[in-house]
Structure 1
Amino acid sequence: MKKILLLAVFTVLGFMNVNAQEIKFGAKAGLNFSTVNGSNTDNIDYVTSYHVGLVSEIPISEKFSFQPELMYSRQGYSFNNDVVAMNYLNIPLMGKYYVTKGLSLEAGPQIGFLLSAKNEEMKVTNSFTTFDFGANFGIGYKLENGLNFSARYNLGITRVDTDNRNGVFQVSVGYFFF
């Protein structure tokens, strides 16, 4: 099994025909506007929080790039003025299509691992699933100096509790160091 996986990785890398000098590494941070969607969400409101992490951009062709990320994301929701804060380690795997120079449409899956969850009075991590899978859709703009901006929506696919899924709108600013 390990040999098959290794062969698949080398095959994909061989087809990418990427010059290592073109791979960019950087960091980004921004605001989250998060809630949960599902049944019995009439009294649930958005909460504003943040995300921060590392990014890489790997060019595949002139118009298409692959952007894996490793993000700490504080998400949650408010229910009758009681905020439930959920802390995730998220791994978005974004495909970026450059519509014009600098402007990209982005989409891809996201894997999330719940680190902790609590409301104002106690830890409630056991009330939520520890694995979160979602789909991201967004838009980005990258300047030549490495500064970049993005807006995306994470549509939760797996349930975080018995009835609900995460829904997170993010706005970010980042910088590619090299």
Structure 2
Amino acid sequence: MKHFALLLAGCALSAAPALAQTEGPGGIRSSTDYPSGSSGHDSRNTGFGIKGGFTASHFRGDDKKNYSDEGVYNTFHAGVYTQYGFSDKFSIQPELLYSRQGFAGNNGLPNSQGQTINGAYNTRLDYLQVPVLLVYNFLDNVSVHVGPQVSLLTKVRENGVERKIASDKDTYDYHSLDYGLAAGLEARVGPARIGGRYVAGFQDIIKNPRTTAAQGLDNIKNGAFQVYVGLGIAR
């Protein structure tokens, strides 16, 4: 999947110059080719495409202070988006993303194999994410994005070892569903786009702590910076 995200980025960057020069009724139009106030299928903000990029993931919350050696988990995300314009300024953009997130640190708790995790370690959390973003073009080709996001946890790996999301044998479980808020900026050149956003999760990552030690570590939440490139397939 990491190679897939890099491939998306390469395709977007390599195809952008050629596609951006294509104009007219049979080609892909730039934003200035649309009449002011256009909406629906005549809007510059209507279409779909692919996107992918870099994610710097971490955790936040009241129990963050109980972890030591905190570090950023550098990873990636990739997926598809669709966009429907209400006007030349406003549109709505749902997305479906595969996002690998997680965090690094030390909590001294045993993992699912009964081994105590001391020293540096990392936790990998794989999500399917569905952000639904309100897009506002405050400049011709620059927009602000903000909206809710729902995420489904599909896989957990602790120090490279896959573990169940929920198990009676572990000292704690993981919430399979996360929800939060995404906000960021995006710039476009023809069909290509580049942007960045921050995603804040509101759901605790860990649930059902079964030991006293685990109860002091369950109030942590996802946080991630995402930088991406995208390519519009149809507009």
Instruction: Give the TM-score taking structure 2 as reference length.
Output: 0.65
1:137 is aligned to 2:186: no
Q: 1:60 to 1:164 in 2, by over 3 A?
A: same
- Whole-angstrom distance in 1 between the partners of 2:87 and 2:42: 13
Q: Quote the residue 1:8 is aligned against.
A: none
State the Cα RMSD in Å: 1.7
Letter in structure 1 aligned against 2:165: T
**After the TM superposition, which residues 100-139 of structure 1 pair with which residues of structure 2 at under 5 Å, given as runs?**
100-120=139-159, 121-126=161-166, 127-139=173-185
SS of the equivalent of 1:73 reads strand
Task: Show structure 1 runs of 4+ deviating over 4 A.
Answer: none
Q: CA deviation at 1:173?
A: 0.4
1:61 is aligned to 2:84: no
Letter in structure 2 aligned against 1:56: T
Identity within the alignment, %: 27
Indicate conservation of the 8 Å contact 2:43/2:85, yes or no.
Answer: no
Letter in structure 2 aligned against 1:155: A
- Whole-angstrom distance in 1 between the partners of 2:196 and 2:162: 32
Identify the range of structure 1 (72-81 vs 121-130) with the bigger mean alpha-carbon deviation. Answer: 121-130
SS of the equivalent of 2:203 reads coil
Indicate conservation of the 8 Å contact 1:118/1:125, yes or no.
Answer: no
Q: CA deviation at 1:60?
A: 1.1
Instruction: Give the TM-score taking structure 1 as reference length.
Output: 0.85
Aligned length: 162
* Structure showing greater Rg: 2
Q: Quote the residue 2:98 is aligned against.
A: 72
- Whole-angstrom distance in 2 between the partners of 1:96 and 1:20: 17
Q: Quote the residue 1:38 is aligned against.
A: 61
- Whole-angstrom distance in 2 between the partners of 1:49 and 1:59: 31
**Structure with higher strand content:** 1
Letter in structure 1 aligned against 2:94: P
Q: CA deviation at 1:19?
A: 2.4
- Runs of at least 5 residues in structure 2 that lack an aligned partner in the other structure: 1-38, 107-119, 167-172, 207-217
**After the TM superposition, which residues 9-24 of structure 1 pair with which residues of structure 2 at under 5 Å, given as runs?**
18-19=40-41, 23-24=46-47
1:144-164: CA deviation from partner (whole Å, max 9, x where unpaired): 2x1001100001112122311
- Whole-angstrom distance in 2 between the partners of 1:122 and 1:140: 35
Indicate conservation of the 8 Å contact 2:64/2:219, yes or no.
Answer: no
- Runs of at least 5 residues in structure 1 that lack an aligned partner in the other structure: 1-16
